[in-house]
Structures are given as C-alpha cells and as structure tokens.
Amino acid sequence: MMRVAWLIVRKDLTVEVRSREIAYTTLFFAVSCVLVFAFALVRDGRAPEDGAAGILWIAVMLAGNLTLGRTFERERQSETLRALLLGPAPRAAVYVGKLLGILALLIGAEVALVPLVALLFQARLLAHPLWLSAILVSGTVGFAAVGTLFAAMLVRARSRDVLLPVLLYPMTVPVIIAGVRGTAALMQPDLEVGVVQFWLALLLCFDAVFVTLALWTFEAVMTD
Amino acid sequence: MSQRANTSPDLDCDFDRVAVEDVSRHFGRRRAVSHVSFLGSSGTIVGLLGPNGAGKSTLLALLATILRASSGAIRYGAIESKDAPAALRERIGVLGHDLFLYPELTARENLVFFAGLYGNDNADGAARAALDRAGLADRADDPVSSFSRGMRQRVALERALIHGPRLLLLDEPFTGLDETSAAALIGRLRGLRDSGAIVILATHDLDLAEGLLDQAVFLRDGRRVETVSHPEGLRSTYRSIVFGASQP
C-alpha cells in the first residue's frame, strides 16, 4: 500500500514542480490573507493578543481549501482519478497518496506563513519551534484528512467548489479551535506545557479518528 | 500478454471469458442499463453499438469494476466482479474517451507511473517497451501536453496495456484520430485479439468498426436490442436494429 502511496506522492509533486500552479496560488492567497489582517488589526505596531494564532490558522485553512480543490480538479480534468481507481492497488493507498501530497504542499505554505505572521504581528510564534511544528503538523493532518476525503467524494459534483468548504469547515471546527488555542498557548511568556499538550492530544485524537474513518470509507465512496 | 502485475499472488484471477448476465444499473430512478446479457470470449473483439444514452459507457464502467451492478452479475471466468474487484482490475485495461494521462508528465513518466501502479517491478523496462510499440521512443521525454491527439492516443493505449491485461475496454477509441492513426489502432486491436485478449469497445464510428468486430451488441435506451456475430454491413444493420421502423 505504501509503495503505491509513494508513487502517487512522487507523481503529484513532479506535476506540481512542473506547473507550480498550486504552490503559487496557495502561497499568494495565504500571504494576501495575512497582509489584509495585518493592515486591519495591527495598530501602532501592536496586534491583538493571540491574534497571530487565529490569523495563522485562518490562512492555513483558506489556503488548504484552495489546495484541496485544485489538487482534485487536476485529477478530474484528464479523468486520471478514474485511472488511479482502475488500478489493482487498495483504494486506501490512493487516499494516502493524495493526502500526503496535499500535506506536503500545505506544510510548505506554512513554512512561509509562520515567519511572515510572526513578523507582521510581532508574535512569539517561533519561541518554541518543536511544539509549534507538532501543533501545526497534527492540525494540518486532521484538516487534510477530512478535506482529502470530501474533495475526492465531490470531484464529480457540479457545485464542488461551493460544497467543499460548506462540508469541510464545520467538520474541522475542532481542529481550528485546538490549533488556535495550542498556538496561542505557545506564544505566552511563560509556557504552560500542560495546556499545549492538551490541545496537541486533542488534535492527535482527531487525526486518528478521521484518518481511520477516511481509510475505512474511501473504497466505498469512490466505487460508485 | 506479458508482465503481469503481482499485487494479489494468493488469488489467481485469470480468465478466458467475460459473461454479462442480466445486468442492470440504476442511477436514482434513471435506468442506465437494463437486463443486458452478452458474452465475450478470449480472442474476440466485441462492439457495443448504440446511440447516445444507450448505456455503452455505463456497461464499460461496470465491466471495469468501477461501478457496481444494481442487479445481475458480471463473471470473469468463474469469478464474479463483486468477489475480487481489486484482483480482477489487475487483468483489466481501460482506454476511456478521456485518455487518463497527466499532461505535465512526459510519455515515459506517465507509463512508468502506471506500470508501477500495477505492481510492475521493472516499470522502466515496461515503459521503454511500450514506447517502442507506440513508435514514440524518440518523443519519450517530451511532455504529453505537447503531443497531437493521435500520439496521445497511442500513449494512452500503451498505458492501458502496460500490465498485460486479459480484458481491454475501450470507450470511443477512434474519436479525434486521423485515418492513419485509426488504421494503426485497428491493427493494434487485431494484434491483441490474435494474442488471446478479450477486447470490448464502445463506438459510434461504424465505418471504422466494420470488419473489426467478431460480435456486435446493439443497445438502445439501456437495453440490449440484438447481438450479431461477425456482423457485415454494420451501418445498415445498425439502422435496422437500433432505429427499426422509426427511421426512413
């Protein structure tokens, strides 16, 4: 299964390196979003308390929706998603491959977003880089796990661009809350490890539940 | 028929006939395919012929195991499609109306990717051989987006055959091809028939299908109207069978 997943990740990244379509649009959109919030909320060099955490996660979620939509639109245009499903590999391998490709793109965007948000909002985002990485990666996995399943399900729906965020954002509210609160806890002058661990544990539980659920249901939802 | 994939060694899903037995498929209240039966044997080319909306593409999707039948059964040898769909897909190649190729990737990259997807341990070798068969070895490292429709079709056919399928399903394979490309495709399909493959194709192009088919299954409104072995004068047979008295 992991061999096929790796093939799909490598293929997706090769296509992206050639076209740079998703990376550029996602990054442009996310940076624009952060800039708009920075102009609106930062006054005299001071940003609202914990505002940076919220802005960071809003930018990640909005950019994530764009990434999910474009990734599956690319597979739809030449019906290549159907070709993947026609192969003998378990459908779960196709899901894992697409999920990992989307994660790579989103984490790449986060690498650019974190220093930008830290700079514009004068936030201590990089004070605890390992904890921040853990919160960001686990939150992104949860968001992408649900998003990949929904985006694949909606690939043939005419109103997929509208339906994807309508379905995705309510389902991922726990990720957004845990991500924002966990990131905000990291920016406090005195780090309360217990608080960060609590939100991280919540994110990991969400990841475990939804990755399992998606692996279990992907075969059925993609067959008909 | 070489270079089998090896993704399910415990289950031998090889077969020499495909039997569609009283198969129906509904989409909500719409009946796309209704009680259709026919048989495809090794070394034959079966044509699914009928007007738009006759159920040809749905039947191909059912044969490819990408759709489930609402009722009836499709048997690949002794195995029913619902019993081992993944293992059966190892023996099935599909060439759709869309070519299932990544335009940003080169012809070689596309073929290597799909060979790997079917579990071929020597994906590079399989891709090289496929490019030679397609006559595109000199364009192997060009992106598919730079190819003409005929060249893409040749790559797509080799993609569908890269794992040596027993059953090849083609949906409107002649669309957009010039005379030379269509003749080359017909030659390739005849070669596959001679090598023992079962070829099932849906087409509107009766002139090109003339003389190619061993069996023609005529469909209308999701129903099988008639099955003709070694059909001759395909266009007039089509008119009389599919349209009957409703056409002048």
Domain edge (last residue) among B138, B164, B190? B164
Q: Do A83 and B114 touch (CB under 8 A)?
A: yes
Say whether both B176 and B237 belong to one domain. yes
Average pLDDT, rounded, for chain A: 92
In our burial notation (b when 16+ CB lie closer than 10 A, e otherwise), range B84-121 reads: bbbbbbbbbbbbbebbbbbbbbbbbbbbbbbbbbbbbe
Say whether both B108 and B47 belong to one domain. no
For residue B144, give how far its alpha carbon lies from the nearest alpha carbon of chain A (Å). Answer: 12
Whether residue B74 is contained in a domain is answered as yes
Q: State the total domains in chain B.
A: 2
Rounded to whole angstroms, how far apart are CA atoms A84 and B99? 12
Whether residue B5 is contained in a domain is answered as no
ipTM passes above 0.85: yes
Mean pLDDT for the stretch of residues A181-189:
93
pLDDT at residue A191 in the model: 86
Q: Do A11 and B68 touch (CB under 8 A)?
A: no
Say whether both B62 and B172 belong to one domain. yes
pLDDT at residue B245 in the model: 45
Residue, of B36 and A157, whose pLDDT is higher: B36
DSSP A89-127: S-HHHHHHHHHHHHHHHHHHHHHHHHHHHHHHTT--TTS
Whether residue B12 is contained in a domain is answered as no
Reported confidence tier of residue A224, pLDDT bands at 50, 70, 90: low
Domain edge (last residue) among B149, B164, B179? B164
Reported confidence tier of residue B11, pLDDT bands at 50, 70, 90: low
- Tell me if chain A has a CB within 8 Å of the CB of B227: no
Say whether both B78 and B116 belong to one domain. no
The CATH number linked to B32 is: 3.40.50.300
Say whether both B109 and B66 belong to one domain. no
Kindly report the backbone phi and psi dihedral angles of residue A218, in degrees, each rounded to the nearest multiple of 5, phi listed first.
-60, -40
Whether residue B1 is contained in a domain is answered as no
pLDDT in tens, A2-28: 889 999 999 999 999 999 989 999 999
Residue pair B36/B23 in contact (Cβ under 8 Å)? The answer is yes
pLDDT in tens, A40-52: 998 887 888 888 9
pLDDT at residue A12 in the model: 94
Residue pair B113/B163 in contact (Cβ under 8 Å)? The answer is no
Whether residue B7 is contained in a domain is answered as no
Interior CA angle at B115 toward B114 and B116, to 5°? 90
Say whether both B124 and B238 belong to one domain. no
Of A4, A19, A82, the CB nearest to B100: A82
Say whether both B174 and B86 belong to one domain. yes
Say whether both B212 and B127 belong to one domain. no
Mean pLDDT for the stretch of residues B22-36:
90
Whether residue B6 is contained in a domain is answered as no
Whether residue B98 is contained in a domain is answered as no
Tokens of A4: 């096929």
**Residue B35 host element (H or E):** strand B30-41
* pLDDT over 90 (residue B231): no
A152 burial via Cβ count (<10 Å: 0-12, 13-18, 19+): buried
Residues contacting A126, CB < 8 A, separation 6+: A114, A115, A118, A132
pLDDT in tens, B145-175: 999 888 998 999 999 999 989 999 999 988 8
Contacts of A11 in chain B (CB under 8 A): 102, 105, 109, 113
Say whether both B84 and B131 belong to one domain. no
Rounded to whole angstroms, how far apart are CA atoms B235 and B196? 27
Q: Is A15 helix (H, G, I), strand (E, B) or coil?
A: helix
pLDDT at residue B170 in the model: 94
Q: Structural domain of residue B138, as residue ranges?
A: 103-164
What strands, in cross-sheet order, belong to the sheet with B79-80? Answer: B30-41, B17-27, B71-76, B79-80
Whether residue B4 is contained in a domain is answered as no
Kindly report the backbone phi and psi dihedral angles of residue B141, in degrees, each rounded to the nearest multiple of 5, phi listed first.
-105, 20
pLDDT at residue B6 in the model: 42
Task: For B125-164, give the secondary structure using H, E and C.
Answer: HHHHHHHHHHCCHHHCCCEHHHCCHHHHHHHHHHHHHCCC
Reported confidence tier of residue B180, pLDDT bands at 50, 70, 90: confident
Mean pLDDT for the stretch of residues B66-76:
91
A224 burial via Cβ count (<10 Å: 0-12, 13-18, 19+): exposed
Domain edge (last residue) among B124, B145, B164? B164
Q: What is the DSSP letter of B244?
A: G
pLDDT at residue B5 in the model: 43
Say whether both B241 and B170 belong to one domain. yes
**Residue B95 host element (H or E):** strand B92-95
Average pLDDT, rounded, for chain B: 87
Q: Which of residues 40-69 of B touch A (CB under 8 A)?
A: 64, 66-68
Q: Is B47 helix (H, G, I), strand (E, B) or coil?
A: strand
Say whether both B38 and B142 belong to one domain. no
Say whether both B124 and B185 belong to one domain. no
pLDDT in tens, A72-87: 998 888 889 989 988 8
Reported confidence tier of residue B30, pLDDT bands at 50, 70, 90: confident
Could you give the C-alpha distances from B80 to A48, A200, B68, B122, B199, in angstroms and in order? 63, 47, 11, 30, 19
- Tell me if chain B has a CB within 8 Å of the CB of A87: yes
